[in-house]
Structure 1
Amino acid sequence: MAEGNNVLMGILAIILGLLVIIFPIFSVFTASVMAGFAIILLGIWLVAQSFGTWSASKGASIAYLILGIIAIVGGIGLFGSVLAFSWLVSFWLYFAGFFLIISGIMSFFVKEGTTGKGIGGIGIILGILYMILASYAWNPYYLALLIGIWLIIDGITLFFVNPSDLMKMEN
């Protein structure tokens, strides 16, 4: 059983997951506002970086400036746009699914190393699942359902798994 702090986080994740499922459009709208705001802040930081690096490297400074402007425009476009956020999430799920499938297929051709045939099969299956989820994520209602289910599952796992124990296992 996990520590008290993890149980509290698990309960909060389950409650948040249920709220996301109950209020799907408001939840996706809120997520798009937060994502847009974060990208706008990233763009502002990149523009500030461009002024700071001007004396050291003109090319890097111009690159920071261009990236910053693109991030600010993209963040403004994403800010509060449910459809843009749904499209972006769906795109990234397709993107991740494609790479999972490709890496799974590639692992079948590896003769040495730690990747096995089972891992390749799992990568292909997960890639296909990502593609299926991406086809549903276009719809904001389904996107909210996917996010809510993920939060509930994550909250339940926090009851049983202590994230710090997972970090110890990796080291």
Structure 2
Amino acid sequence: MQKNAVALLMVLLGLIILAFPLLGIVPFSLISGFIVLMVGIGLMLAGIAEMGESAGLGILELALGLIALIIGLGFIFNPALFSWLIGFIVWIVGLLIILAGIGAVVTGSASSRWNGVIAIVIGLIYVIAGTFLANPIVLGTLIGLWLIITGAVMFMARD
């Protein structure tokens, strides 16, 4: 029963992503920039407070805070920096999907192996589409399809 619930949830999430592939992407740069900015300020304050107990940790926190502060301001005022980071994340997401597929093929049951093959294929398509098309609608659609197919295979599996 738990497997069926997970399968249905995956299909539902896939349908949501297919319906709204850009959900949250438009304001994401500003929100991420603000969050990273707050992390930077917090790290800098923690670094200042830590200086009395451990100078090394204080300097590390100050340096990390300054880096986070610069990145946060970059996300807010320079959307190109955020776009570059998203391009890098495409590679990470594609690699994670491919690795999950390889793991399912190597260690899984018959239905898991099919899900693994599907994950490897969609992961490769995701990296290629992300590299050459750079269209978030296509990437969102691929993730939605992967979730729907994986959920459907899980739901129909007899093992």
Q: Same fold (TM over 0.5)?
A: yes
TM-score normalised by structure 1 residue count: 0.54
Cα deviation for residue 44 of structure 1 reads: 0.6
Given that 1:94 and 1:131 are in contact with CA atoms closer than 8 Å, whether structure 2 keeps it comes out as: yes
Q: Distance in 2 between matches of 1:51 and 1:130?
A: 43
Given candidates 102, 105, 116, the residue that maps to 2:102 is: 105
Residue of structure 2 equivalent to 1:124: 120
Corresponding letter in the other structure for 1:67 = L
Percent identical residues: 28
Q: Distance in 2 between matches of 1:76 and 1:59?
A: 26
Look up the SS of the partner of 2:119 in the other structure.
helix
Against the structure 1 CA distance between its residues 126 and 48, is the aligned structure 2 distance closer, same or farther, given a 3 Å change threshold?
Answer: farther
Residue of structure 2 equivalent to 1:84: 81
TM-score normalised by structure 2 residue count: 0.57
Against the structure 1 CA distance between its residues 131 and 62, is the aligned structure 2 distance closer, same or farther, given a 3 Å change threshold?
Answer: same
Moved more, 81-90 or 116-125: 116-125
After TM superposition, which residue ranges in structure 1, 4 or more long, deviate above 4 angstroms?
A: none
RMSD of aligned residue pairs (Cα, Å): 3.6
Given candidates 71, 78, 94, the residue that maps to 1:74 is: 71
Cα deviation for residue 119 of structure 1 reads: 4.1
Cα deviation for residue 133 of structure 1 reads: 4.5
Corresponding letter in the other structure for 1:60 = L
Against the structure 1 CA distance between its residues 130 and 58, is the aligned structure 2 distance closer, same or farther, given a 3 Å change threshold?
Answer: farther
Corresponding letter in the other structure for 1:80 = F
Look up the SS of the partner of 1:55 in the other structure.
coil
Residue of structure 1 equivalent to 2:4: none
Deviations 1:118-165 (A, max 9, x none): 34324313422431442333xxxx33x469x67xx8xxxxxxxxxxxx
Deviations 1:30-74 (A, max 9, x none): 432222222111111111121233334333222211111111111
Q: Distance in 1 between matches of 2:33 and 2:138?
A: 20
1:43 equivalent to 2:40? Answer yes
Given that 1:97 and 1:130 are in contact with CA atoms closer than 8 Å, whether structure 2 keeps it comes out as: yes
**How many residues in Structure 1 have an aligned counterpart in Structure 2?**
122
Q: Distance in 1 between matches of 2:123 and 2:44?
A: 36
Given that 1:39 and 1:75 are in contact with CA atoms closer than 8 Å, whether structure 2 keeps it comes out as: yes
